[in-house]
Structure 1
């Protein structure tokens, strides 16, 4: 590697450290120091391009705003074209990085390495909780667990007063009416992650292949997250899975979930999802932070909500074009900053727990 490139890399690592140190300070007198650190974290390619996961689109909007405010003159154009398209466009060299609900796999790993001239890394930057949202007149604070959710979504539990649901909700008046299941009719990373959860958390009682199409064999389809939220809002006695922000905006009930550890029902909050993320297992090597999401789905940690999807930013570990590597690094550094992270709950996402964010910071600092 050229000497100048090594100098640039070292300077950016130091800048990243200064940025996080400044952002974490309570000393208002250090405002000038933070501004200087932000300036040092910037640089490289001015107009970045990325595409991919629509699940992270609202988070990316916030990250881009922080990036453009922090790094004057630098921009990022993100196209939410879907995870598959994002991976293909990155591998084809049409974009500088990709957003994806799934890590690179199979032939994609080798193809991305050829595109980068180096290893490609999967960096899980955005986590979005999946709500079990319901419209059940007269019933609040519904409690469910993994096996029961699986049996609802594969048609084995068909009425709201089924003994499996009643056992989890003592004292509640559950109506003796059919459960109406609403599912995503379009291909969706949310659907795939949800079905992975159903299999993992039910010891395979769900019994259906996890893919981006719903395979439960029951219910009515609606297109998109807004579609299933609207269908559930407009249909009494119905239930769906959907990103939490859509459930909130639709005024739907959100079930509390008993995780694999048993014990108390866990409500969906940024803190309880963060508790699950804190303990998720990383199975990738080094800075390639591929996750074992089954470790999240089957968490036994107290007060940990177990259903969430992770979105990766897929990057080159060592870009052949130095300015591009510097620009991608600058964007990701600002995305990890407290300024960018603190507004995520309003958009239905979860700020990264400190320990997990530090792991990502170390990986971002290593990009060249």
Structure 2
């Protein structure tokens, strides 16, 4: 079995075991089962959808798949959490019905997607997951600035008791041990967003550029695949640090850095409230379009107090007009379920930030326009 794909299927198997007819409107079940039945969705179309991509949204996709199954009887989603690069490639190659990506389509990917669709391709931001800077130092609460984080990830700072870290953590007993950076070995939109944060917030300390491939420098750290891989490495190895989608850090109980911003010299703790303040400030790159790409540049150096700066919108990449009406109908039903208030409310316990009501209106407008 592909264990990355299993995330979006395990919940469905569990529902089968207990019987779908026994589910209530809000069913968190026991353990992994999280779902919400949406009563007013127009179900129909092909019974089994296939999608792949972003590992950052995999835990959310499990909630979406479970909710879709209980809302639309006989309909399922098979989601392969294999990374944003693979998700885009499989969508543009016609292997999936939609793709999941931590970064919106760009340039050649847009062209390939539009060729696959024979229509415009749209980016629908259905999941917001803060990126956590997670670490393994027993009993140490860390606060770090953008410049210091950049110097850790490009190898300029190699020890946990480095003077730059000590200056930002007055009174904290820092260990005299080496820092081991764990980075994403696969192409990843999480990497792309994290590097964009470093470039924007490091005051010139990050000169390695951005992109889906980690560019920390020759010999910096060790790679691991997916949010699952880097988070597991942190959990198992003292002295390590990584960037990962918050849901993975939260589910494993990892320690997370508080981030110093221009508006918060004492650091901002990552939680639903501080991340929500950042999402409320979101603006779209193409106002008036159903291609809902978010301009995240204002996230990284917030001017508002109490706003966590590293927020990752993950996108469902869809055709604006599918060649098959049955696919279009099913994709619309699935996305309608995914962005509904009741389903989004289930995401907070998984380490995501539910989308605000005003933002949902924009998403529903784009979803309803899919044909």
Q: TM-score, normalised by structure 1?
A: 0.82
In structure 1, the gaps of 5 or more residues are 1-22, 24-33
Q: How does 1:97-112 map to 2 (within 5 A)?
A: 97-112=98-113
- Distance in 2, matches of 1:72 and 1:63, equals 14
Given that 1:278 and 1:355 are in contact with CA atoms closer than 8 Å, whether structure 2 keeps it comes out as no
Establish whether residue 57 from structure 1 lines up as the match of residue 66 from structure 2. Answer: no
When residues 84 and 158 of structure 1 are mapped into structure 2, their CA distance, relative to the original with a 3 A threshold, is: closer
Q: Distance in 1 between matches of 2:53 and 2:264?
A: 36
Give the superposition deviation at 1:355.
2.5
- Residues 252 and 219 of structure 1: CA distance in aligned 2, closer, same or farther (over 3 Å): farther
Cα pair distance change 1:91/1:158, threshold 3 Å = closer
8 A contact 2:183–2:230 mirrored in 1:
yes
Tell me the residue number matched to 1:350.
353
Report matched runs for 1:190-201 at 5 Å.
190-201=190-201
Q: Indicate the SS of the match to 1:311.
A: strand
Aligned mates of 2:80, 2:334 — CA distance in 1: 16
Asked if 1:296 is matched to 2:299, the reply is: yes
> 1:79 matched to which residue of 2?
80
Quick one: which of 305, 325, 334 aligns to 2:328? 325
Pick the aligned partner of 1:270 from 253, 272, 277: 272
SS of the equivalent of 1:38 reads coil
Distance 2:66 2:233 in 1: 33
Task: Flag the structure with higher helix content.
Answer: 1
Provide the C-alpha distance between the structure 1 equivalents of 2:214 and 2:95, rounded to a whole number of angstroms. 31
- Please tell me whether residue 121 in structure 1 is matched to residue 122 in structure 2: yes
How far off is 1:249 after superposition? Answer: 4.1
Give the ranges of 4+ consecutive aligned residues of structure 1 lying more than 4 Å apart after TM superposition.
none
Going from structure 1 to structure 2, the CA distance change for 1:233 and 1:313 (only over 3 Å counts) comes to: closer
Query: C-alpha deviations, 1:231-289, integer Å up to 9, x for none?
Result: 43444333222222333344432111122434442111122112212212311351111
The alignment covers a number of residue pairs equal to 334
Aligned residue in 2 for 1:92: 93
1:59 and 1:111 map into 2 onto residues whose CA distance is 27
Q: What secondary structure does 1:41 align onto? A: coil
Q: Which residue of 2 aligns with 1:5?
A: none
Contact 1:188 1:213 in 2 (8 A): yes
The structure with more radius of gyration = 1
Aligned to 1:203: 203
Query: In 1, are the aligned partners of 2:83 and 2:186 still within 8 Å (CA)?
Result: no
Higher mean Cα deviation, 70-79 or 265-274?
Answer: 70-79
Return 5+ residue gaps in structure 2 as ranges. Answer: 1-24, 26-35
Matches within 5 A, 1:1-368: 38-39=39-40, 41-140=42-141, 142-217=142-217, 219-224=220-225, 225-285=227-287, 286-368=289-371
